[in-house]
Amino acid sequence: MSTRIVCEHGILQFLIPFCWNNSYLFQDCLDSSCMSKMMKSSALPEPKTFDGSGEFGEFKRAFLLKYQQVTDGDDELVAILEEKFLKGAAKTLFQSLPKRYERSLKALFEDFEKKLRKRQGDRKAEALNEFEELKKKQGQKMWEYLLEVEKWSRMAFPEVGDETLSQMRTTKLMKAVREDDTLHKMLIMKRFEVPLAQQYEQLKDVVLQQENEKLRENGLKKGYGSSPRGKKETRENPAKESHNREGGFINPNRKCFRCGGMGHMSRQCTSKPVQNVKAREEDAVKSVGAEIVEIVEMLGQRRRIVIDSG
């Protein structure tokens, strides 16, 4: 029963192998005092992994509250701390501490906090410098610029409240839209209608909406200027091409299969087929009548005179 309880809780994964190989220690773990500590520790929340960017004091408190009663050895706590709860720059910094398995955990935490505070101070100074020099580049999309504003302001001013942080970001936003006089004036009017803590988010929505509208309009204009298939029609030498009756350009070397002529197609041919011409000549009705002549004698001579030509 006791063994199953120990295995079901992940809090003692580092201690179970050691206690199991030493039967007298494992027996001690089964007494009422040890079981009470285990059950108390299992009821406490698991501390979040620390990467050096958050508040170390809160992490240290949560870690010691959960694991300090589990074991009396500081070296075991150091092993648990390194393996499960430190990562990234924080883990590298902690592993750089001298004699960390020989010193007390309290001394290690004090030394670690000093180095961490100095490191965070350097990062804060760098972020502050980046935030102060941050400007929107030529051709840069507004949403990309605002992502940088939010990133560096969060790193440079981690301790300020939402209202102050919103004002700092709003100042950067207003400077970025100064070239658009209409939008700039609209944001100034909008600014007085919104609470200080919400100004940045509200104005950001307006600016991004305006940017999306411009991108959509530009896309429609490009679409109107292109051919229906989206491809630009090109001709090798338009000057050499003739213009047909339908208003389109054709190839002068094209041969008509109807009349044998050049420069047009059969569906554009105006010539009549030969067989049709012959058929019409054969079927044509003669409209000329018979010629009427008369032989007359004039001045002693007989002459042929046409009375009706028909």
Q: What is the pLDDT of residues 115-138, one digit of tens each?
A: 888 877 777 777 888 888 889 988
Lowest mean pLDDT: which of 57-71, 73-87, 191-205? 57-71
Q: What is the mean pLDDT of residues 137-161?
A: 88
Q: Is 257 helix (H, G, I), strand (E, B) or coil?
A: coil
So where are the chain's domains? 2-126, 140-219
SS3 content of the chain, % helix, strand, coil (to 5): 60, 5, 35
Kindly report, residue by residue over 235-249, the tens digit of the pLDDT.
Answer: 444 444 444 444 445
CB-count exposure of residue 103 (10 Å: 0-12, 13-18, 19+):
middle
pLDDT at 7 over 70: no
Q: What confidence category does residue 27 fall into, taking pLDDT thresholds of 50, 70 and 90?
A: low
pLDDT of residue 304: 76
CA dist 154 and 107 (Å) reads 31
Q: How do strand 301-308 and strand 242-243 relate by DSSP bridges?
A: unpaired
Kindly report, residue by residue over 75-121, the tens digit of the pLDDT.
Answer: 888 888 888 888 888 888 888 888 888 888 888 888 888 888 887 77
Q: What confidence category does residue 207 fall into, taking pLDDT thresholds of 50, 70 and 90?
A: very high
Contact 52, 119 (CB under 8 A): yes
Q: How do strand 301-308 and strand 292-298 relate by DSSP bridges?
A: antiparallel
Torsion of CA 120, 122, 124, 129, to 10 degrees: -170
Mean residue pLDDT of the chain comes to: 74
